[in-house]
Amino acid sequence: MYGTYLRLNITVHDGWRAVVHSASRNLTWRARCDPEHRAARKQLDRQMLDYHRQAQKVVATWRL
């Protein structure tokens, strides 16, 4: 899933809304709108946000 995060075309300095918006744009129409896929969408959003937080910590630690 880290590869999916890297393909979101966002920077480390973007906010959480940009991450969620970019992740949802990369889903197919059916995956975005189908109520049965809601749990999977939430899990994807959480994973993308976790990767984003980790990347922000690295930047803050090394002052990149």
How much of the chain exceeds pLDDT 70, in percent? 100
Return the pLDDT at 43: 97
- pLDDT, position 37: 96
Residue 43 · residue 1 · CB < 8 Å: no
Determine the pLDDT at residue 64.
Answer: 73
What is the model's pTM? 0.91
Alpha carbon distance 42, 57 (integer Å)? 23
Q: Identify which has the larger pLDDT, 64 or 22.
A: 22
Q: What is the pLDDT of residue 50?
A: 98
Mean pLDDT across 6-21: 97
**Among 60, 30, 31, residue whose Cα is nearest residue 45:** 31
